[in-house]
Structure 1
Amino acid sequence: MPRPSQRDRILDAYTDLVVDAGPETVTLDAVAAAAGVSKGGLLYHFGSREALLDGLLDRARELNDADLATARAADEGVSRYYLRTSVDDPAAGSAVYRATVAMIKLAATEPRAAETTRRCMAGWRAAMTEELGDPLAADIVATVGDGIYLRSIVGDGSPGLVDAVEEVIRRAERS
């Protein structure tokens, strides 16, 4: 596997700091140190704090779009994929999971992060509506998946819900 570029290392460090320490603690100096680059190196790739945020949001959107494309291509279908990965991605600490958590944490204080998060969520709901044929059923599946994801973020594995994925889908398809 090729070594990540300096730009990617900076985005990884920024994501990790937001996820692990919270956005309010993140400084350009902290990101540079965590990425193993000088502050000048960081500013070469991202000329400002806003540009760094834009880089993280662009990456999160790209990861989300790729994940949605994977779900659309999966034999299990978008809804099952969404529910399954609501458990699997947090457990594995996947890149899309970490980017999503960073976006959610940033959304509390950064309107651009909130908007990007809403757009990503809307894409999933649209794909599930297309699959299930019912916007309310898609919203229900998305809400269950989001709840499982949130519980996973805080360390609650939600075994009852995880085991009920097929029942959730069956009920959504009946509606």
Structure 2
Amino acid sequence: MPRPPAAREKLLAAYCEIVAGEGERAATLDAVAERAGVSKGGLLYHFKSKDALADAVIEGLHETAAADRELMAAAPEGPARYFVRGSLEATSDVDTYFNAVLRLATAQHPGATDALAAIHNEWLALIRDEVGDEAVAEAIMLIGDGLYYHAALPGAGDAASTASHFRSRVEHVLEQVEVLRAAAARQR
């Protein structure tokens, strides 16, 4: 797939930043163009409307999540541990798109909620295939979701943050993932 033009990438990044930080209403075409350092005409060359920008962000989420799922499926530690460990970071391309689409979903943008549900279900399927038990897979997902919540909070990089606390104890959390995986294996 050809690499998108730099202006297009800057516009998507600016849109994601505004939507995630200030909400969908703040992401006017003028605000996005200004944040990206691109003329409004340049923005309109790439995206004919705010809806086109939102749709491109949803597409970006699907693409980056698909690439991450490939890594998750191939992870030597297994999908469950990969998911939980990765939930402690909120700075990847997947996270950039995920947080913007989450805000789009709260603004009821068409397709945003469906995109989040589809990606959640794909992650869940990988974990379920590994552990062999729906309830255990869901518990592991909830552990990851809880960690992600803390990692996505403002100030998550500060030493006193809850995210820093959990990062320092990640191996203990992953031990609990192993307990869940072992329990599921015994039930099979």
Which residue number corresponds to residue 177 of structure 2?
A: 168
Which residue number corresponds to residue 101 of structure 2?
A: 103
Cα shift at 1:4: 5.9
Give secondary structure in 2 for the equivalent of 1:47.
coil
Take 2:102 and 2:57, find their aligned partners in 1: how far apart are those partners? 12
Which residue number corresponds to residue 119 of structure 2?
A: 120
Q: CA RMSD in A?
A: 1.9
Take 1:124 and 1:161, find their aligned partners in 2: how far apart are those partners? 23
Correspondence 1:19-168 to 2 at 5 A: 19-87=20-88, 89-90=89-90, 93-109=91-107, 110-154=109-153, 155=156, 156-157=162-163, 159=166, 162=170, 163-168=172-177
Give secondary structure in 1 for the equivalent of 2:48.
coil
- Identical aligned pairs, as a percentage? 35
Take 2:34 and 2:125, find their aligned partners in 1: how far apart are those partners? 40
Query: When the two structures are superposed, what TM-score results if normalisation uses the length of structure 1?
Result: 0.90
Take 1:3 and 1:24, find their aligned partners in 2: how far apart are those partners? 26
Cα shift at 1:173: 3.4
Give secondary structure in 2 for the equivalent of 1:164.
helix
Given that 1:83 and 1:145 are in contact with CA atoms closer than 8 Å, whether structure 2 keeps it comes out as: yes
Query: Which structure's CA Rg is the greater one?
Result: 2
- Cα 1:63–1:111 change in 2 (3 A) is same
Give secondary structure in 1 for the equivalent of 2:111.
helix
Given that 1:132 and 1:172 are in contact with CA atoms closer than 8 Å, whether structure 2 keeps it comes out as: yes
Take 1:21 and 1:173, find their aligned partners in 2: how far apart are those partners? 43
Take 2:32 and 2:100, find their aligned partners in 1: how far apart are those partners? 14
Q: Which amino acid aligns with 1:126?
A: A
Q: Which amino acid aligns with 2:178?
A: I
* Structure 2 gap segments, 5+ residues each: 157-161
* Structure 1 gap segments, 5+ residues each: none
Q: Greater share of helix residues, 1 or 2? A: 1
Take 2:44 and 2:126, find their aligned partners in 1: how far apart are those partners? 38
Take 1:161 and 1:113, find their aligned partners in 2: how far apart are those partners? 33
Q: Which amino acid aligns with 1:94?
A: S
